Amino acid sequence: MTPITSFAGKKVAVFGLGGSGLVSASALLAGGADVIAFDDDPATVECAAAAGIPTADLRTIDWSKIAALVLTPGVSLTHPAPHWSAALARAAGVEIIGDVELFGRERAARAPHAPFVAITGTNGKSTTTALTAHIFRAAGRDVQMGGNIGVAILSLEPPAPDRVHVVEVSSYQVDLAPTLAPTVGIMLNVTPDHLDRHGTMENYAAIKERVVTRADTAVIAVDDDFTRAAAVRRESTGRPTVLVSAETILNRGLYIDGTWIVRFGAREESRIANLAGINTLRGRHNAQNAAAAVAAALALDVPVEAIRRGLATFPGLPHRLEEVGRKGRVLFVNDSKATNADSTDKALSSFSGDVFWILGGKAKEGGITPLKRFFPKIAKAYLIGEASDAFAAVLEGQVPYVRCGTLDVATAQAAADAAASKAAEPVVLLSPACASFDQYRNFEIRGDHFRSLVRGLLA
């Protein structure tokens, strides 16, 4: 844990007592703060109190005595309306921050030059975070990895000059981190998502951009309009900025040439690493992720040989183009993390054809219409969940499909059809382009279910 000493002797309110909120309250207590915590779920409040966290209804406290409200990222700060705790804090002139901000302040006080890599993007940030941490470990560095990737940032060991923190940050977390200033900030991409929480694409993109605004070195992938504009603004400051692209040959920064990551600097090119044969980094989107991770490693003086070793041994992440197994010629791939069309775009672009595509769930805005250019490579589609009728209407006359309802039925039918295919390597791909909430609590449970079904088939 990282004890938070910047609020020692001060009264701090904490709202939201799930994973990160509970850790934030504990870290504040460990650093000497006077904490008062609450949640809308009475059972969660009881669990926190049983764990030794002081609790009280924040609607009844004297806000004039509160130094800060620490808000869990899952609670609305602005849109569609501020949560009642945020509204009370604002009315009292109390600053509202989150766990990433607490970490940043502790780093500034304890070890201001401790290496800190912060990574954001609509898609790819978890893979880039895990890969970056893996490369640093391959170089023998002391690495702490956490944040939005599933480990609360304050549960990590404290910042230290010889310890690298590699942290995935969501837009929700960045919105609660006004002084975020990492050693290396990485901005991967901005595509429509979370507009219910941020109001407009422009506001969403501006929040993402904060990751690179105050960074010592900014790494910006310039393959969409929002990131290109962010790069122009950052470069205008004259501060170190590394551009990355998987789509364009750059005259500065890092780009992808075939399967090679190429660095262009000091008017000459150098080939850093070859991604050929690394199945955990399949596809152009993962080439972009890899180039961003390499840029961060180079910025923190990781030798090229260690970078190559880290790339070659990267195990990948569950639910992100995860190769679950093979049965004869058939490859089974779990891409349950693809909860929107942009993510599924990356998956479908990673295969040349003969895809037996399992999709559906709780649809996002735009559905699968943006994926029509991939329809010629779909051998058959298998629809699950509440989006089935809407998706069938888009596929009608263009892609053979069947309404399966559940993942169990879809996996069995896709496996049978793929096995009967004459293709050299038919692919059964779960890439739903949908949230999971109609049938599963989260995408991880959906992906775990698919993995267990495939393992049953393999057995």
Active site residue 165: no
Residues 152, 99: contact at Cβ < 8 Å? yes
Active site residue 125: yes
Give the pairing of strands 378-384 and 427-430: unpaired
Cα distance between residue 393 and residue 408, in whole Å: 23
Residues 352, 376: contact at Cβ < 8 Å? no
Cα distance between residue 335 and residue 337, in whole Å: 5
First-last CA distance in the chain = 42
Residue 152 tokens, joined: 């609360």
Rg (CA), the chain: 23
Cα distance between residue 5 and residue 8, in whole Å: 5
Q: In this structure, how many other beta carbons lie within 10 angstroms of the beta carbon of residue 402? A: 16
Element (H, E) at 96: strand 95-97
Half-sphere exposure of 121 (CA within 13 A, CB side): 28
Active site residue 79: no
* Active-site residue identified among 83, 123, 125, 364: 125
Cα distance between residue 121 and residue 455, in whole Å: 32
* Active-site residue identified among 10, 11, 79, 194: 194
With left for phi above 0 and alpha for psi between -120 and 50, is residue 426 left, alpha or beta?
Answer: beta
**Tokens 């942009």 appear where?**
342
Q: Which residues contact 168 (CB under 8 A, 6 or more apart)?
A: 119, 120, 125, 126, 128, 129, 146, 147, 148, 149
Residues 447, 321: contact at Cβ < 8 Å? no
Residues 118, 180: contact at Cβ < 8 Å? yes
Residue 416 tokens, joined: 């049978």
As beta bridge partners, residue 37 has 14, 55
71-82 burial, b if ≥16 CB within 10 A, otherwise e?
bbbebbbeeeeb
Element (H, E) at 306: helix 304-312
Element (H, E) at 241: strand 241-245
**Vertex 292: Cα angle to 289 and 295 (nearest 5):** 150
* Active-site residue identified among 148, 189, 286, 289: 148
Active centre residues (catalytic): 125, 148, 194
